Amino acid sequence: MNIKILGSCCSKCDTLKNLTETALKELSIEAAVEKITDIEKIISYSVLSLPALVINEKVIIAGKVPAISELKDILKKYNETKI
């Protein structure tokens, strides 16, 4: 599973990255987590608000930081389906 956090160097973007890494660790899921701050790369995903969570090149969440429980549910789903 390939995970990208889209956003500038704002606190919400950092929080989403940290929560994602924590959720992955708690679920024992191995995944590459990359933070994308380059505006041209962010635009290529057609997101209108940040931060955004991208899993396997699909935008899953944009414009909010989900609760860790919601994040875990999303990660479990994508880990099981191997999308």
Catalytic residue among 13, 54, 65, 71: 13
**Is 13 a catalytic site residue?**
yes
Residue of 11, 35, 62, 44 lying closest to 74 (CA atoms): 62
Given the residues 2, 10, 44, 76, select the one marked as catalytic. Answer: 10
Q: For residue 3, what are the β-bridge partners? A: 33, 55
Q: 10 by DSSP, 3-state: which?
A: coil
* Pick from 38, 76, 82: nearest CA to 58: 82
Report whether 38 contacts 44 (CB < 8 A).
no
Active-site residues, by number, are 10, 13
